[in-house]
């Protein structure tokens, strides 16, 4: 009999979700899985990742089974390591074929990362409907290649028909951590949490879980200016840089400065901030759009196809963010932040414009599209 969502398969849907490599790929994948389970708790979900990558730990921690493929990406900085790439690719295609034969999925979803390519290619070859979730404003080579046979392509930015067939594109946005963007009515709690004064302005700087060297160096260079302006700072250094910064500054450097390695409560950090300084990863941008506060984006140059710069410029085009290049940040980031902090009108404009780009239910919308392509394939 059909399941509660009217899926025409005899049993509950069986879905493979493939990809990973970074938290930016893994979190949306888990969010989509959770949304599919919400649509139909009997849904069978299998993750497929790359052996040795972060997803092999993070996905089981989220409660899902994962199988690893022996695949690696193209090594841009070490060409000799690429000699093994064709062999590993062929091996991973064979592994992907076996996974599909054994699991018998009704659909396969690719979220980006090394394992997406072989898995979705093998699934398409066996007539299984596939869906791609492209997070960035600039599509990578793998997704462009996979799009030819995909049934649906879920995107977060406009003008993606430069990369994909227009009739397959659906603008869904990127899944976000709901608890991270739930900031309403939390400012007082946030100020208490970070021991901040309600009478002084707050800058939040976040460079992701590992941290961002340029952001940290720019803050070190501009600390005197921030202190002279009597501005409060929530400074998330990241795991890699925390000990070194504490060694230089000490734990209680200044009452206005809160130095933390990691932010467990992003909702409170966002709620406390008047303005936010951040890298421009797709997942982060999705959160910032929902939070709706003025943002200065400093894209990382150390990413494939410079996609963070392209993500940031997509917001700059609609006057929804301030843009500072990684190269200029040391000299201009802190002065620009102070300038924005003292310009109430620009803060309001940026906040309103970024909020217009918010797509808060992306996980549920993508999950429904997965169910839809299964239904279509059964007709």
User: Which token pair is 15?
Assistant: 């879905």
Q: Is 72 known as a binding-site position?
A: no
Give residue-wise pLDDT tens across range 90-135.
Answer: 877 888 999 999 999 999 999 988 789 999 999 999 999 999 999 9
The answer to whether position 163 is within a domain reads yes
Instruction: Report the pLDDT value the prediction gives residue 80, as an integer from 0 to 100.
Output: 59
Per-residue DSSP letter, 138 = S
283 is in an annotated binding site: no
Measured CA to CA, the distance from residue 218 to residue 336 in angstroms comes to 12
pLDDT exceeds cutoff 50 at 186: yes
pLDDT value, residue 208: 73
Residue 11 predicted with pLDDT over 90: no
Domain carrying residue 230:
179-355
For residue 196, the model assigns a pLDDT of: 98
Instruction: Give pLDDT, residue 43.
Output: 98
Sheet strands side by side (includes 232-236): 257-260, 232-236, 202-206, 275-278, 295-297, 322-323
Q: Does one domain contain both 104 and 225?
A: no
pLDDT at 324 over 60: yes
Residue 31 pLDDT exceeds 50: yes
The percent of residues above 90 in pLDDT, for the chain, comes to 75
Give the number of domains in the chain.
2
Please indicate if the annotation marks 24 as binding a ligand: yes
Q: Is residue 54 part of a domain?
A: yes
The mean per-residue pLDDT over the stretch 4-28 comes to 74
Closest C-alpha among 133, 123, 139 to residue 153: 133
Q: Is residue 9 part of a domain?
A: no
Q: Which of 11-25, 89-103, 254-268 has the highest mean pLDDT?
A: 254-268
Read off the pLDDT band of 4 (50, 70, 90): very low
Whether 138 has a pLDDT exceeding 50, the answer reads yes
Looking at the fold, whether 208 and 161 belong to one and the same domain comes out as no
Residues 266 and 145 in one domain: no
Residue 242 in any domain: the answer is: yes
Tell me which residue of 110, 59, 118, 138 sits closest to 370, measured CA to CA: 110
Query: What mean pLDDT is reported for the chain?
Result: 91
pLDDT band at 282 (very low <50, low <70, confident <90, very high): very high
Question: Cβ distance 234 to 344 under 8 Å?
Answer: no
Q: What is the DSSP letter of 153?
A: E
pLDDT at residue 312 tops 70: yes
State both tokens at 242.
Answer: 């925390």
Residue 3's pLDDT is 39
On whether 116 is known to bind a ligand per the annotation, the reply is: no
| pLDDT computed for residue 73 by the predictor | 61
Contact 360, 290 (CB under 8 A): yes
Domain assignment present for residue 7? The answer is: no
57 and 82 both lie in a single domain: yes
Same domain, 40 and 163: yes
pLDDT at 8 over 70: no
308 is in an annotated binding site: yes
Q: Is residue 6 part of a domain?
A: no
Whether residue 230 has pLDDT greater than 80: yes
- Whether 199 is covered by a domain: the verdict is yes
204 part of a folded domain: yes
Q: Does 280 lie in the same domain as 161?
A: no
Same domain for 200 and 161: no
DSSP letter for 304, please: G
Q: What is the per-residue pLDDT for 368?
A: 98
Binding site annotation covers 209? yes
- Cα separations in angstroms, 32 against 16, 47, 131, 158, 370: 11, 11, 12, 21, 9
Mean local confidence (pLDDT), 206-220: 87
pLDDT value of residue 304: 74
Predicted confidence (pLDDT) at residue 38 exceeds the cutoff of 60: yes
**Residue 229: CATH number of its domain:** 3.40.50.2000
* 305 pLDDT more than 80: no
For residue 7, pLDDT beyond 50: no
Is 144 in contact with 67 (CB distance < 8 Å)?
Answer: no
Is residue 255 located within the same domain as residue 148? no
The answer on 130 and 43 residing in a single domain is: yes
Regarding whether 368 and 289 lie in a shared domain, the answer is: no
* pLDDT of 349 over the 60 cut: yes
Q: Are both 119 and 220 inside the same structural domain?
A: no
Residue 25: which pLDDT band, with cuts at 50, 70 and 90? confident
Instruction: pLDDT band for 9, please (50, 70, 90 cuts).
Output: very low
* From 12-26, 44-58, 312-326, the region with the lowest mean pLDDT: 12-26
Of 52-66, 67-81, 204-218, where does the model show the most confidence? Answer: 52-66
Q: What is the pTM of this model?
A: 0.87
- State whether 114 and 214 are in the same domain: no
Q: Is 49 annotated as a binding residue?
A: no
């Amino acid at each position: 009999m059909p399941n509660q969502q009217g899926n025409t398969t005899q049993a509950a849907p069986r879905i493979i979700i493939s990809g990973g490599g970074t938290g930016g790929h893994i979190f949306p994948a888990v969010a989509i899985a959770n949304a599919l389970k919400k649509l139909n708790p009997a849904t069978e979900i299998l993750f497929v990742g790359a052996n040795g990558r972060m997803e092999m730990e993070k996905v089981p921690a989220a409660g899902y089974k994962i199988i690893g493929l022996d695949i690696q990406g193209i090594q841009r900085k070490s060409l000799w390591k690429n000699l093994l790439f064709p062999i590993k690719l062929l091996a991973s295609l064979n592994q992907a074929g076996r996974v599909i034969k054994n699991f018998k999925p009704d659909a396969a979803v690719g979220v980006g990362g090394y394992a997406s390519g072989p898995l979705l290619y093998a699934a398409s070859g066996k007539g299984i409907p596939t869906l791609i979730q492209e997070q960035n404003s600039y599509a990578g080579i793998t997704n462009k290649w996979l799009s030819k046979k995909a049934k649906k392509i879920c995107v977060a930015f406009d003008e993606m028909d430069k990369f994909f067939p227009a009739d397959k594109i659906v603008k869904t946005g990127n899944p976000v951590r709901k608890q991270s963007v739930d900031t309403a009515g939390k400012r007082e709690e946030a100020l208490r949490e970070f021991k901040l004064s309600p009478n002084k302005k707050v800058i939040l700087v976040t460079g992701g879980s590992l941290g961002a060297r340029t952001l940290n160096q720019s803050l070190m260079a501009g600390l005197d200016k921030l202190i002279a302006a009597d501005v409060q700072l929530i400074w998330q250094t990241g795991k890699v840089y925390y000990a070194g910064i504490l060694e230089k500054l000490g734990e209680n450097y200044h009452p206005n400065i809160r130095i933390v390695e990691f932010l467990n409560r992003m909702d409170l950090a966002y709620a406390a901030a008047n303005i936010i300084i951040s890298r421009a990863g797709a997942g982060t941008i999705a959160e910032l759009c929902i939070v709706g506060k003025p943002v200065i984006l400093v894209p990382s140059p150390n990413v494939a196809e410079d996609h963070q710069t392209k993500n940031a410029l997509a917001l700059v085009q609609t006057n929804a963010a301030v843009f500072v290049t990684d190269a200029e940040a040391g000299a201009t980031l802190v002065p620009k932040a102070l300038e924005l902090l003292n310009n109430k009108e620009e803060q309001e404009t940026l906040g309103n414009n970024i909020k217009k780009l918010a797509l808060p239910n992306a996980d549920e919308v993508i999950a429904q599209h997965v169910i839809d392509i299964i239904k279509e394939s059964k007709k």
